[in-house]
Structures are given as C-alpha cells and as structure tokens.
C-alpha cells in the first residue's frame, strides 16, 4: 500500500476488509487486541478531524489579520451529518400507529369560526338565466380575506380664545390618545413595536413601509420612538416575568449570542408554557444568571450554612476558608459594595473570589422574599446554571446530541452507536408514557431500566465513555419521575433563542442600552402573547392608546396557570 492520503471511506473499506478476515479468530486475547486497535483508530481519527478544524480556524484568523479572505464555505452535495436528536425523538413520539398515520396528513382548521367579518355583500343571480321552476334555497357563503392599509391623517383645529382681562390665551385640548405624544398617532406608534419584534424588520425597512403609504417620517424619528417612546412597557415585562416565575414550579433557561455596539453579549431566555422573557447581558456567568432571576435587583450576599456548604463543594483551601470565617459575619446580609470591601481584606485569587461571591449570592437569593425563588431549573449541562436552584433537571434531547456527535470511522462502531441510540429513544418513550399514566410501581422499574441501559458496555470506547457520563446525570434526567409536570426536553427555551437569533441576523446589533432593553421587552411581550393566544398588535395598541380594555398578560398568565383562563380575544 502506498502512502497516499486516506479519506474516511478509504479507512472504512480497509477496516471492513480486516474485520471480515479476523471474524474467524477464536483466541479471546487476539480479539481484545483487535478491538483495542479499532478503538485507537477511532479515537485518533476523531482527534485528527478536530485538529484539522482548529488548524483551518487558525489559518482563517491569520488570513484575516493579513487582510485576506477566509476559506470559502462550500456546501457539499450530500446532506451534512445532523447532530440534532429531533428526528429520533419524533420517531418515538407517544402517538399510536393510527395517530401517526393521520398526523402525516395536512390538518386544515376551519377558518370561519375565527375570521372577523367586516362587511357582507350579496351576490345576486341573473334570474333571466334560471328555469321557470327554480326555487330559492338561501345563500352559499364564502369568506374572502383581505386587508386595506389607509392613512388616517387628522388635522386637529384647536379653538383659541384670548382674554384681554387676564392677558391669557386659551387653547383647546387635544384628545387624550395623541396629547403630548408627538406628531404620530396610535396606529403608527403601535405598528413600530410589532414590525420590530414580531416581523423582525430593520428600521430602514420600517421607514420604507411607512413611506410607501405616504407617511412623512425619518429613520431618526423611528429610532428615537423605538428606543425612548415605550418605557411604560418595561413595567409590563417585569409583571410578566414575576407572574411567569409564580406560574409553575420549574423554569426553562437557555442563552444565545447577541451583539451590542459591536461587542459580544448574551441573551438569556427564561420561559415555561405561559411566558418567555428575554434579558441581554454582557456576560453569562453564574452571578449574571442570578441577576436575571432577580430581574436585576441590587445584589445581596449572605454568609450562612448554605453558603458554607456551597464553599465546601468548591473545595477552597483550608487557610482561605479560615480567613473567610474570620472576616464574614454569619447569617448577615451584605450589599455588594460592603461585601467587595470585606473580600478585599482577604488574600483571594480571582477564581476564589468568584466562588465566594457565588456561594453567598446563591444563599441570599434562596433566602430573599422580594422575588419568586425558582425551585427547579431545566437547562442544558452548562456549568453556570448549576447550583442556583434547589433542584436541576436536564434535557434528554441535549444529552442525545452527544451520541449523534460521535463520528466513528469503524463501521462496527457506527452500528453499535445506532443500536444504542434506538434503545435510548425507546427508554425516552417509556418516560413519556409514564408522564401520561403515572404509576408508583413503574417508578422503580424505570429507575432500574435506566441503571441497566446506562451500564451497557459495547466495546466502542468513546460510546462507553458517553454512556457513563449519561449515567452520572441520573438524578437530573430522572427528576421527571418525581415531578410529572416537568418537560423531558428544553425545546421551549431553544425556540425562544431562535427569535433572538433571527433578530440578530436582521439587525446585527443594538447600538445603545435603551435599544437593547426595549428589544428584550417587546420580544418578551410578543412571545408571551403568542403563548396566551393574544394578538400582539391588539395588545400593544390597547396599551399605547391608554384604553387598557384588555387584561394584562401577567393577569392572563395567572389565570391560565390556575386553570381559570378563558380566551376572550
């Protein structure tokens, strides 16, 4: 064999040939040596592929520094490997075969029940075309949906009176919905948030939209209205968030990238079935996530038994722990300024200082009464989400992705991976069935099945290591056996993150703190309104006009979570 560069197919062909030749081996020791070599090949192949990717990234960075172009991204003719676990999850959905068969058919919902009829028009028949014995049988109705966009520019002629005796001029008041609101009415001021948060239009596109209908407005005015004209809605967001935290015993969280004035930021998404809330922050560490939980109330720190227990888990040096005990008063709450001053008296490295702050901030969060405390947090396995809440539950879909990311070059190993994934999703299906029909006896059985499944040894070393890691998360993955209301996956927060990603694709970044804050606020209102079955535009207009005829989204969250929700919109 020459020394030509081998691709994945070449390696697989060679290994398949060797495997067929060694299939008749009877010596167990020889077989073990052969299996060890296959694992080494797979591991080396994975490392080489990873190094190739890193090397290309470094080359691209060097080219950028030299003012040259990165390597172009050319999509392959074949479909790339899919690391998502959605396909397997859906294939093992809890629908019967008949239901699955019906699900593939397009389901059309009746529209007449929900379509608002603005006017009726009778279409008469030409009676001269009818036979003499034709009898009237009423009407056959059809609804044609259409929309008209028209201007409603109003010239208000305000009466003016002058009193010589008082030397004063008296001017009639404008209507309440436009008084003191500038030169643009409720319709325009309601459309801007909808076009930004729901339609993800850039300000330039919004400008073009208005100009197409003869509205004289500038991009600067749109920007100013967007960033400074809706400050009352921040309180709406705060109320939504508080109601959402109270609506279930668990919350789901995820984060995604954001850009603010050219800098990398992160948008945190907290949600459950009743709401979604967005918070853009410069960091995504544990203290920042706690700030989000507290809706950015001033940080508090508490050195109590819970904080001490957390510090034990962080395994700080004994000398450091002693200095902390001597400096911090037990069971006393500190504000951030005083706490930082006291920590400055102790010789702490940056990481040690962060751990002390995290432990005391978590203890203070769990003890405070001003904001609802999250009992259970559903998330991926990111470290910043751990230790914050009393209990943590993990996403089965995220865990399944790790198996899909295994890219074995040995055909046998690919077969072993696929066979294990089939068992993985069958077990997932049993958990879904248990949620529908819980049985205390089944809890023990499912726990035992988990132990058996994730104690499997396949001989494919990377797969066995992955299985062992899943087994270590048994408590977090099986918390659903204790709390039936918990979802098995974190798709809700991931879908929420896609909304932010779409806005980032359109607008690239926000340019100010006000712009970032209003973007988060209206994303929260828009996505929460969708979950509650409320039309976003109707709700925004109701608030912008000051009519306040519609119930608040916070109130609807409370009613729906209590089972008393009645859809009136």
**41-64 mean pLDDT:** 79
Residue 368: inside a domain: yes
Residue 242: inside a domain: no
What percent of the chain has pLDDT above 70? Answer: 87
Residue 286: inside a domain: yes
What is the band of 95 on the pLDDT scale with cuts at 50, 70, 90? very low
Question: What HEC string does 217-265 produce?
Answer: CCHHHHHHHHHHCCCCHHHHHHHHHHHHHHHCCEEEEEEEEEEECCEEE
Q: How far apart are the first and last CA of the chain?
A: 74
Residue 228: inside a domain: no
| Residue 364 pLDDT greater than 80, yes or no | yes
What is the band of 177 on the pLDDT scale with cuts at 50, 70, 90? confident
Range of the domain at 309: 253-391
Phi, psi for 475 (deg, rounded to 5) = -60, -45
How many structural domains is the chain composed of? 1
Only one residue has tokens 């691709």, namely 7
What is the band of 126 on the pLDDT scale with cuts at 50, 70, 90? very high
Q: How many CB atoms lie within 10 A of CB 66?
A: 8
For residue 61, the number of C-alpha atoms closer than 13 Å in the C-beta half-sphere is 6
pLDDT at 74: 60
pLDDT at 254: 96
What is the band of 365 on the pLDDT scale with cuts at 50, 70, 90? very high
Tens-place pLDDT, residues 469-486: 999 999 999 999 999 999
Residue scoring higher pLDDT (409 or 557): 557
**189-213 mean pLDDT:** 93
Residue 338: inside a domain: yes
**413-419 mean pLDDT:** 92
Burial of 77-100, coded b for 16+ CB within 10 Å and e otherwise, reads eeeeeeeebeebbeebeeeeeeee
Q: Mean pLDDT for the chain?
A: 88
Give how far Cα 45 sits from Cα of 20, 120, 407, 443, 459, Å. 21, 70, 9, 41, 17
What is the band of 89 on the pLDDT scale with cuts at 50, 70, 90? low
Look at 204-208, 316-320, 350-354 and tell me which has the smallest mean pLDDT.
316-320
Q: How many CB atoms lie within 10 A of CB 550?
A: 17
| Residue 551 pLDDT greater than 90, yes or no | yes
| 3-state helix, strand and coil shares in percent for the chain, rounded to the nearest 5 | 50, 10, 40
- Contact between 251 and 561 (Cβ < 8 Å): no
Residue 316: inside a domain: yes
What is the band of 566 on the pLDDT scale with cuts at 50, 70, 90? very low
Tens-place pLDDT, residues 259-289: 999 899 999 999 999 999 999 999 999 999 9
DSSP H stretches of helix in 66-95:
86-91
What is the band of 176 on the pLDDT scale with cuts at 50, 70, 90? confident
SS3 273: coil
Number of H helices, E strands in the chain: 22, 9
Cα–Cα dist 95/92, whole Å: 8
Residues in CB range of 404: below 8 A, 6 or more apart? 81, 82, 83, 84, 85, 421
**438-445 mean pLDDT:** 90
Residue 331: which region, alpha, beta or left (left: phi > 0; alpha: psi -120 to 50)?
left
Residue 383: inside a domain: yes
| Residue 414 pLDDT greater than 80, yes or no | yes
pLDDT at 565: 40
- Contact between 534 and 553 (Cβ < 8 Å): yes
What is the band of 19 on the pLDDT scale with cuts at 50, 70, 90? low
Cα–Cα dist 196/324, whole Å: 49
Give the global pTM.
0.85
**496-509 mean pLDDT:** 91
* CA nearest to 501, candidates 332, 267, 335: 267
Q: In this structure, what token pair is assigned to residue 97?
A: 């075969």
What is the band of 51 on the pLDDT scale with cuts at 50, 70, 90? confident
β-pair partners for 160: 171
Residue scoring higher pLDDT (44 or 239): 239
Is 519 exposed, middle or buried (CB count within 10 Å of its CB: 0-12, 13-18, 19+)?
buried
Look at 14-28, 125-139, 311-325 and tell me which has the smallest mean pLDDT.
14-28
Is 305 exposed, middle or buried (CB count within 10 Å of its CB: 0-12, 13-18, 19+)?
exposed
Cα–Cα dist 120/110, whole Å: 19
DSSP H stretches of helix in 24-96:
28-65, 86-91
In degrees to the nearest 10, what's the CA dihedral of 474, 475, 478, 484? Answer: -170
pLDDT at 332: 93
Residue 157: inside a domain: no
């Amino acid at each position: 064999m020459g020394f030509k560069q081998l691709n994945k197919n070449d390696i697989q062909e060679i290994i398949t040939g060797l495997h067929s030749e060694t299939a008749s081996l009877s010596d167990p020791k020889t077989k073990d040596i052969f299996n060890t070599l296959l694992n080494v090949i797979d591991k080396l192949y994975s490392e080489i592929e990873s190094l190739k990717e890193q090397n290309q990234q470094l080359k691209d960075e060097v080219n950028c520094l030299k003012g040259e172009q990165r390597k172009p991204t050319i999509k392959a003719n074949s479909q790339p490997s899919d690391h998502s676990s959605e396909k397997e999850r859906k294939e093992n959905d809890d629908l019967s075969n008949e239901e699955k068969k019906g699900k593939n058919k397009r389901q059309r919902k009746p529209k007449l029940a929900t379509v608002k009829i603005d006017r009726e028009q009778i279409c008469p028949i030409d009676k001269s075309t009818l036979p003499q014995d034709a009898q009237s049988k009423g009407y056959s109705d059809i609804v044609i949906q259409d929309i008209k966009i028209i201007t409603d520019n109003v010239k208000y002629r305000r009466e003016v009176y002058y009193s010589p005796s008082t030397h004063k001029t008296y001017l009639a008041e404008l209507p309440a919905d436009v008084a003191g609101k500038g030169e643009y009415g409720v319709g325009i001021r309601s459309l801007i948030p909808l076009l930004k948060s729901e339609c993800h239009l850039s300000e330039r596109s919004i400008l073009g939209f208005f100009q197409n209908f003869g509205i004289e407005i500038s991009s600067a005015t749109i920007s100013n209205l967007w960033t400074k004209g809706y400050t009352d809605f921040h309180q709406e967001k705060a109320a939504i968030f508080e109601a959402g935290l109270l609506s279930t015993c668990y919350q789901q969280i995820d984060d995604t990238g954001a850009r603010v004035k050219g800098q990398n930021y992160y948008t945190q998404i907290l949600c459950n079935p009743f709401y979604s809330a967005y918070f853009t922050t410069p960091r995504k560490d544990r203290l920042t996530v706690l700030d989000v939980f507290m809706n950015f109330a001033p940080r508090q720190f508490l050195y109590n038994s819970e904080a001490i227990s957390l510090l034990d888990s962080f395994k700080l040096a004994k000398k450091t722990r002693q200095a902390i005990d001597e400096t911090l008063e037990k069971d006393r709450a500190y504000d951030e300024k005083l706490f930082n001053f006291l920590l400055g008296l102790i010789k702490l490295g940056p990481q040690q200082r962060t751990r002390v702050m995290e432990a005391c901030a978590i203890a203070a969060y769990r003890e405070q009464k001003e904001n609802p405390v999250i009992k259970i947090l559903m998330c991926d396995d990111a470290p910043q989400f751990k230790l914050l809440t009393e209990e943590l539950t993990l996403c089965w879909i995220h865990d399944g992705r790790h198996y899909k990311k295994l890219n074995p070059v040995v055909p046998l190993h690919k077969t072993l991976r696929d066979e294990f994934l089939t068992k993985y999703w069958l077990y997932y299906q049993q958990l879904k069935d248990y949620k529908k029909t819980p049985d205390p006896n089944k809890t023990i059985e499912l726990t035992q099945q988990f132990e058996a499944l994730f104690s499997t040894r396949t001989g494919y070393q990377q797969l066995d290591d992955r299985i062992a890691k899943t087994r270590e998360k048994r408590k977090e993955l099986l918390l659903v056996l204790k709390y039936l209301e918990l979802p098995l996956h974190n798709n809700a927060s991931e879908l929420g993150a896609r909304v932010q990603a779409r806005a980032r694709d359109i607008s690239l970044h926000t340019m100010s703190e006000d712009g970032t804050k209003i973007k988060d606020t209206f994303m929260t209102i828009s996505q929460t309104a969708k979950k509650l079955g409320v039309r976003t535009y109707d709700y925004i207009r109701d608030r912008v006009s000051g009519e306040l005829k519609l119930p608040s989204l916070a109130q609807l969250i409370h009613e729906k979570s209590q089972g008393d929700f009645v859809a009136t919109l």
